Structure 1
Amino acid sequence: MPAPFHEVRFPLDVSVKSRGGPRRRTDVVIVGSGREERNARWAHSRRRYDAGYGVKTLESLAAVVAFFEERRGRLYGFRWRDRLDDRSCAHGQAPGPLDQAIGVGDGATAAFALAKTYGGAFAPYRRPIAKPVAGSVRVAVAGAEKQAVRDFDMDPATGIVSFRPGAIPPEGAKVTAGFLFDVPVRFDTDELIVDLAAFEAGEIPSIPLVEILP
């Protein structure tokens, strides 16, 4: 059973000024000869953020506290906008229907999951995208853009593109997509402790968040 999740975005004015990024877990063993053996513990990176860096006013702090309370601390997940990595294309560009390969048609499969691939020359990493921004997804089949609603439906809560019966990709046709997306996260604490005197003096409060992996 999936963990409870609220389809609501963390206050944007705070998230775009926050701190964080991807984290991986790798075991490194030094053998007798001095050489290393390395093994990836996680198939996917897991992002961590500290929203405290984006809180600049008491009004913003109060909004974050209210958001925290409604999420019941770590209980409910929510959407987070990562300003550094929030789209299928290069930073600052607009998403296009040819940005990311998400599958190849076989004439029968109607559902395709959004994904973003990083790199390509050595060991490309394919990241599942489960929280696209509603209305931002553009899809193409064999290079020809398809129309939302007429040709396909997009579930912004799962990142699944579902083609309608008359538009199912034929065998061998490359399916691509472009999109904006949020990161599914939760608070990584069940308490917020803020020293208001220190905050007003410029101290940064700690508000840790962690990505929820699919």
Structure 2
Amino acid sequence: MVDNVILSEYVSVGFKGGPHFSTDKVTAVNNQERRLQNQSIARHTYAWSQRNADSAIVETLRAFWFDRRGDFKAWLLKDWTDFEIVDGAIGIGDGVTAAYQAAKTYTAGSNPYVRIIRHIKSGTLVVKVDGVTQTLTTHYTVSATGLITFTGGNIPALDAIISISCEFYVPVRFDGDAFMASIPQSLPDVLDVDDVQAVEVIP
């Protein structure tokens, strides 16, 4: 379960990281390689590790870590390297289907990757059908898990393209029940923080 508690974007900019897959690789005696994909869904991991960081930022992160009780409670992180969708297609109408899940598709060839987006930043969602902007509550509703449902007579027609633009968060938890900080010598207004990690929570 993920609480809809959002880490300050001012603090989250300090997190570095991104998606990871897991692949086993075995090399035969003839140097041919066999690969086994252990997971088909990428999992995002992050780390916040800084030297001479502003003590006020560190104290904000520390207070948030206490609020989450370390690893115990999940929360929402803005990944500043990948936090938005711009006119991304999420489905094609068939005249019957009313609900479409928010998602982001990464394409660089013939093997696109579809990432489910469940935590949309409030006030940023724009939904379009064949390029025409729809109105929240009048044409559609959106759930807390990013499911967009068209209402009444607003179900997308056959072959209509449903697209969205929005900002989104990554659901994560801290990974490690220790918060390690120190004061650099002769620099009382800054702090060093060693590797505060976060890992994506997959529902």
Same fold, TM-score > 0.5, yes or no: yes
User: Equivalent residues in 2 for 1:82-121 (5 A)?
Assistant: 82-89=79-86, 99-121=87-109
Q: What are the Cα deviations for residues 99-119 of structure 1, in whole angstroms up to 9, with x where unaligned?
A: 211112222222110111111
* Cα separation, 2, equivalents of 1:203 and 1:60: 11
CA offset at residue 81 of structure 1? Answer: 0.7
1:49 corresponds to which of 21, 42, 46 = 46
1:60 corresponds to which of 42, 57, 61 = 57
Higher relative contact order (CA 8 A, sep 6+): 2
When the two chains are superposed, the root-mean-square deviation of aligned CA atoms in Å is: 2.1
SS for the counterpart of 2:89 is strand
Q: 1:196 to 1:44 in 2, by over 3 A?
A: same
2:12 and 2:78 in contact (8 A); partners too: yes
- Letter in structure 1 aligned against 2:37: A
TM-score norm. by structure 1 comes to 0.85
1:73 corresponds to which of 70, 73, 82 = 70
Q: 1:82 to 1:55 in 2, by over 3 A?
A: farther
1:16 and 1:54 in contact (8 A); partners too: no
Residue in 1 that maps onto 2:145: 158
Q: 1:154 to 1:102 in 2, by over 3 A?
A: same
> Once structures 1 and 2 are overlaid, which stretch shifts more, 103-112 or 52-61?
52-61
* Cα separation, 2, equivalents of 1:77 and 1:115: 21
Residue in 2 that maps onto 1:181: 168
> Once structures 1 and 2 are overlaid, which stretch shifts more, 194-203 or 31-40?
194-203
Q: 1:53 to 1:108 in 2, by over 3 A?
A: farther
1:169 corresponds to which of 151, 156, 178 = 156
Q: 1:81 to 1:54 in 2, by over 3 A?
A: farther
Aligned length: 201
Does residue 35 of the first structure (1) align with residue 32 of the second (2)? Answer: yes
2:89 and 2:164 in contact (8 A); partners too: yes
- Letter in structure 2 aligned against 1:128: I
Q: 1:46 to 1:119 in 2, by over 3 A?
A: same
Q: Which has the higher strand share?
A: 2
Q: What are the Cα deviations for residues 71-127 of structure 1, in whole angstroms up to 9, with x where unaligned?
A: 1211211110111100113xxxxxxxxx21111222222211011111142311111
List runs of 5+ in structure 1 lacking aligned partners: 90-98
Matched-pair identity in %: 31
TM-score norm. by structure 2 comes to 0.89
